[in-house]
Amino acid sequence: MAQKQQLKMVIAAEKIGRLPTIDVPPGYELRAYRAGDEDAWLRVLHQAGFEGWDRPRLDDYLSDDERREGSRIAAYRRHAVAVTFASRNDHAGVLDFVATDPNHQGKGLGRAVCTSVLKFFRERGYDTVELRTDDERFPAIHLYLSMGFEPVMCADDMAGRWQAVKVTLTRREASCSD
């Protein structure tokens, strides 16, 4: 059986320009990647369920100058606890592999690293930024939608899959307000 295509979302530069700057809570620092962050970055990726990451893959991924410069970390006591890469393709910036240490979730760190990367792309002149995600990453999808990302119907099954995601998100919001 073929693996289904990931969900795709996109945000335009003008929406990015309207995003507020996100301050991280006291004790945290929002910054670019630094040499020495690798082990903590890998730990956060693994905790978030991103498989297949090891030091050679991370080093290769960070060998791209623009990706290294634009990628962001929220650090606590100088160790990465939320991360995302700033990648690109032929026509857009790409928000890539957003991950937060479960012990630090709920503090706005994912929003902070995402917003910082989006603003990096806008300053670099990208018209759009896109991302891909899995159907079951509900907290991440909720974040992306709240930031202004819009679903892209890039395969025949996308409309139905997006409808199922939105139903689940609505149910989750309703259960939180009870």
Report residue 178's pLDDT band, with 50, 70 and 90 as the boundaries: low
Q: Comparing C-alpha atoms, which of 118, 140, 116 is closest to residue 31?
A: 116
Grade residue 174 by pLDDT with cuts at 50, 70 and 90: confident
Q: Which domains does the chain have, with CATH numbers?
A: 7-177 (3.40.630.30)
Task: Give the pTM.
Answer: 0.92
pLDDT tops 60 at residue 146: yes
